[in-house]
Structure 1
Amino acid sequence: MNQSWGGTLPIPSPHIEPGLTPDITHDAVVVVPGIMGSELFDTTTNRVIWGLSKGRWLAKAWLTGDGLTPLQLTHDELAGDYGRIKARRLLQTPAWSPFLRGIEPYHKLIRTIENTVAHPDALMTFPYDWRLPVAVNGRRLAQEARVHLQRWLAHPAHAAARQQAVDEQPARLVFIAHSMGGLVTYAALTLGGDNDLLNDTRGVMTLGTPFQGSVVAANILNAIQGAPLPLPHTRLASAAATMPAVHELLPRFLCLEDGLHVRHLAPTDVADLGGDKDLAKASHDFFATLYSQPLTHHRPVVGIRQDTVQSLKLVGGIVYPSEYCFRTDTDGEIKRDPNGVPRRYRVWGDGTVHRESASLLRRTIPVFAQHGALASGREACRIVKEFLVEDDHLGPDQAEDGIGLNVPDYVTPNTAWDCIISGTDDPSQVECTIAAAEGDWHRSVQLETTEDDRLHAKVIVPDVGLYRIAAKADYGPVVTQLVFAGPEGRAQPSD
């Protein structure tokens, strides 16, 4: 019985209207994965050469002499004959790569979008041969996106969903692109050969796209001639030296420290560190053309607070990366201290792409996440959903507080290695676990405070394989990273 004024107020029952319209989008959605995010099939051998459904293929790929040979571009492919390799689907199981580290499949992102579109046929995924030039994949994406939109516009489910759109406007395209997929999307919309495609696009959301490149690409190419490294790193360097795509991921911002000067990487520098001078020159020319075309309707999601290399020194052909970057005034001059020394800034990033490279705009949507898991995290999926259902939604201005995760990319079984958590010095606030990507093995990770106000733990895994570290603070999202455990053997610089 409800009481009168001065007594306890009644608890109202929820008011439920019948026949609520579902919160969905009537647009056509395209998901474009990042580098190494598509399964590759060799049509000449009838074999999957990247992205097998079982994790055991990782050990063969990275730890045998010819495991990555099929990924190297042949002379015919470098000349433009791309028929040998087919990208058949998105990555289905977790993968791992030196320097790039863990690559999570896109299942959570796909499920989020499937639950937000008017019909499953409104969603298209775009697997592509990520070894090839961005321009090549951009042209193919432009063609397939146009076909997808036309097919969806003629779909019976579109006619019904269109009724809830503002002014019942017909569907347009929405691109959700991770990592290098954002560059492919940029190329498709501006240089893909379809002059109307950009006008038929409602929005582009990029997740950790290296618009200005990444120092990690220089590390990848340098592993072939740098200091002794584990076998996987030198195997990747040999394959990457033939790949236009890796050269297109090289940093295009002022990053190379040369005494008191900071400059861009030149093609000769790329050759010195182990890359291909001609591929570096072609990449420079391509991006000069790409950047002259604006990418409109763009919403960049940027990973933050993860330790990320942002600059480098090149000494005797060896790359020495650093976790700081440089800034310029509007006239392009490097900011310097009173003694003329370039000022160093630590802006963090997602572990692969530093924050200032991950956007063409100053306004970004920050999330706490590692690069390979950026598209599969809860926060990113929530932001994607909001972007799909609200035309002009820019996402949250600030990310909730969170933590950073720093682990090696390659470890050996039964040998202790360091797991470091940044963003807090209180171990009671963080739950950290490690689990095998396949199988039932899992352990809690016991964290302790370090002198630099971080948390630290020594971790040991029992066998060769792929493992997932997950760290969750009381006040923020889960941060995850994949770690590959392999044999003790290391390659010499001549490998």
Structure 2
Amino acid sequence: MKDTSGPLRHPEAGRARDVTRDAVVIVPGIMGSELRDARTGDLLWGLKPRMIGRALGRDGGLAALHVTEAELAAERPVRVRASGLLAFPAWLPVLRGAEPYHDLCRTVLGAVADERAILRFAYDWRLSVAYNGGLLAEEARRHLDTWTATVTRSPELRGLCTDGMPRLVFVAHSMGGLVTRSALARQGDLASDTRTVITLGTPFLGAAKAALMLNGGRNASGAEAAVRDRAQAMAATMPGVYDLVPDYRCVDEGRDVIRLTPAMIAGIGGDPYLGATAAGFREAMRSEPPPRLPDHRAVYGTSQPTVQSIRIDSGVVHPQHRAFRADARGLLVRDANGMPVWSDRQGDGTVYRDAASGGTGKPVPLPLQHGALAKDRHALAYVHGVLTEQEPHTGPPMAPGELGLDLPDAGVIAGRPWRLRLTGRTRPTGVTCEIVQVETGATISRPRPSTSDGGLTATVTLPVPGLYRVGVHGSDRKRVTQFVMVFEPEP
């Protein structure tokens, strides 16, 4: 589905620029497309932040986003349509925040010969990766054919094709990388017409947070539990969430680590049918692996506290910030006592780093949160470099001590103090924090971090409900951002 938003105009249009002749497809992640009621046109997702907070704060506020039985049974569901890429910052419990795609679109616009070379593929991220992959395969083929015809008819554009005709380039964020992989697997000749695939934080092996999405407020209380229960009730109906369940052994059982099965998914609050369907899709991808993503360039986040495995106790999912090691044969590495060996691999706050590399030999690590991977200037410079067939920008060098940011998963309550936690630093010297209200752009607080529990923490109280962007700066000018939603106190 094409983005129907107005055209973007590059500020240097008309000047000689280093551009690509290729057709570029931008594929957003989960939460990254606006969704509308197909009959009324009412906006269901892509709301302004204060409206998201209101919907999460009341029973039934997310009901229109639940996937219905009729939608699951339909070959092509029609109740909801994707109308464009995300225009406002978004937030859901556990998944936290998603940035809009304006900056990514502008970066791509600055690297193509003409705006008509860009397809902004919006899709209903509630539905399965397989379904959306089929739609993307159709749209990408149509887009390449249309762009090639446009180039052929234009003497000015045809001059770019002296050594070959246009091919496809996919720029995919988060779940968008899974949809792209599914599209290339579904339509084999599409891969041969693809020059490169750039993925930003794609959970190729899944994300342990998907299990937390399906578990609601079982390990929480008060307003936090109510918010997570509402999100869980919605997530449990969505095939797209089940497609994010880890495809690696993530369930810690003490002396063993196993995969999350459909029966376990049912036990933690998910739908066993949707769990089994997603598991079958993952199994098919493993047993009949699709062609490797052409010239795959994976950008992934590091240095952020990230859930990498889980423990299930009496139906309650407990997150663990540790990953278990396996040898070349896929067997668990064990210590002298036979216990599985683990380490904290971290990640982008949502996807742990080894799940996002996608097996590429050219990974680009950046110390960023998941939502910011499609917005950060280093990541965007890398995207531009790849699009124009140059790679001068691979981001800042990685080293111990990169800044990490950890905020409450289920939001906070207005007027109540809460703690933000910084990792990668043990001293506050040169570290500054700033909290900005998203809708007004006003700086609300500049908390001062102090040393605590081997890292840095700051106590914050925000009096007004809404969505806030927390930014942390280091003395080396590195910046990490994340969203936090503030809710009204319970009556």
Task: Note whether the superposition's TM-score is higher than 0.5.
Answer: yes
Q: How does 1:42-441 map to 2 (within 5 A)?
A: 42-52=37-47, 54-80=48-74, 81-156=76-151, 160-164=156-160, 167-191=162-186, 194-223=187-216, 225-228=218-221, 229-291=224-286, 292-294=289-291, 295-361=293-359, 363=361, 364-390=363-389, 393=391, 396=394, 399-400=397-398, 402-409=402-409, 410-441=411-442
Counterpart Cα distance in 1 of 2:157 and 2:337: 63
Which residue matches 1:5?
A: none
* CA distance in structure 1 between the aligned counterparts of 2:454 and 2:229, rounded to whole angstroms: 35
What whole-Å deviation, never above 9, does each CA across 1:416-463 have from its counterpart, x for those lacking one? 111122112232322220010011531453333324442221112120
C-alpha distance in 2, partners of 1:394/1:293? 30
Output one character per residue of 1:326-354: Cα deviation in whole Å (capped at 9) or x when no partner.
Answer: 01111221111111111111000000000
Q: Deviations over 1:399-427 (max 9, x none)?
A: 35531111113011121111122112232
Which of 308-317 and 325-334 deviates more? 325-334
More divergent stretch after superposition (55-64 vs 251-260) = 55-64
Once residues 121 and 154 of structure 2 are traced to their aligned partners in structure 1, the CA distance between those partners, rounded to angstroms, is 21
1:400/1:133 CA distance change after superposition, 3 Å: same
* Residue identity matched to 2:57: L
Identity %: 42
Give the conservation status (yes or no) of the 8 Å contact 2:308–2:322: yes
Q: Could you tell me whether the CA contact under 8 Å between 2:311 and 2:318 is conserved in 1?
A: yes
**3-state SS, counterpart of residue 118 of structure 1:** coil
Q: Distance in 2 between matches of 1:477 and 1:124?
A: 32
Shift of 1:394: 9.5
Greater Cα shift, 106-115 or 397-406: 397-406
Matches within 5 A, 1:1-40: 21-40=16-35
**2:53–2:467 CA contact under 8 A, matched in 1:** no
Which segment is superposed worse, 353-362 or 286-295? 286-295
Deviation at 1:288, TM superposition (A): 2.1
RMSD of aligned Cα (Å): 2.0
How many Å separate the matches in 1 of 2:241 and 2:326? 26
2:128–2:243 contact (8 Å) kept in structure 1: yes
Q: Within 2, Cα distance between the matches of 1:159 and 1:305?
A: 49
Change in Cα spacing, 1:226 to 1:277, as seen in structure 2 (3 Å) is: farther
Deviates more, 1:309-318 or 1:216-225: 216-225
Residue 131 of structure 1, CA deviation: 0.6
Structure-2 change in CA distance of 1:456 and 1:225 (3 Å)? closer
Q: Structure 1 136/40 Cα, relative in aligned 2: closer, same or farther at 3 Å?
A: same
| 3-state SS of 2:133 partner | helix
Query: How far does residue 489 in structure 1 lie from its aligned partner after superposition?
Result: 3.2
Alignment-derived partner of residue 470 in structure 1: 471
- Give the equivalent residue in structure 1 for 2:462: 461
Partner letter of residue 430 of structure 2?
Answer: Q
Q: Which secondary structure state, in structure 2, belongs to the residue aligned with residue 429 of structure 1? A: coil
Distance of 1:253 and 1:159 partners within structure 2: 51
In 2, the alpha carbon distance for the partners of 1:328 and 1:395 equals 32
Matched letter for residue 455 of structure 2: R
Aligned partners of 1:100 and 1:372 also within 8 Å:
no
The answer (yes or no) to whether the contact 1:38–1:87 under 8 Å persists in 2 is yes
The secondary structure found in structure 2 opposite 1:230 is helix
Q: Is the 8 A contact 1:213 1:249 kept in 2?
A: yes
Partner amino acid, structure 1, of 2:202: T
Looking at structure 2, the residues matched to 378 and 347 of structure 1 have their Cα atoms a distance apart, in angstroms, of 24
**1:317–1:158 CA distance, 2 compared to 1 (3 A):** farther
Mapped contact 2:268–2:315 kept (Cα < 8 A): yes
Question: Counterpart amino acid of 1:300?
Answer: A
Do the aligned residues in 2 keep the contact of 1:205 with 1:384 (CA within 8 Å)?
A: yes
| 2:4 corresponds to | none
Larger radius of gyration: 1
| TM value normalised by structure 2 | 0.91
Q: 1:225·1:274 contact (CA, 8 Å) conserved in 2?
A: no
Aligned to 2:3: none
Which string of whole-angstrom CA distances, capped at 9 and with x for unpartnered residues, describes residues 19-52 of structure 1? Answer: 9952111111010000011010012443111112
Q: Are the aligned partners of 1:365 and 1:395 in contact in 2 as well (CA < 8 Å)?
A: no
Matched, 1:482 2:483: yes
Question: Structure 2: how far apart are the matches of 1:372 and 1:441?
Answer: 21
Which structure 1 residue ranges, 5 or more long, are not aligned?
1-18, 491-495
In 1, the alpha carbon distance for the partners of 2:450 and 2:365 equals 27
Q: Tell me how far 1:466 sits from its aligned partner.
A: 0.3
Q: Distance in 2 between matches of 1:407 and 1:158?
A: 52
In structure 1, the residue matched to 2:7 is: none
CA distance in structure 1 between the partners assigned to 2:420 and 2:219 by the alignment: 25
Q: Whole-Å Cα distance in 1 between the matches of residues 368 and 441 of structure 2?
A: 25
- Structure 2 distance, partners of 1:267, 1:208, is 25
Q: Which amino acid aligns with 2:434?
A: T
Distance 1:330 1:85 in 2: 44
Preserved CA contact (<8 Å) 1:299 1:394? no
Instruction: Read off the aligned partner of 1:405 and give its amino acid letter.
Output: L
State the TM-score, normalized to the length of structure 1: 0.90
Q: Distance in 2 between matches of 1:45 and 1:221?
A: 30
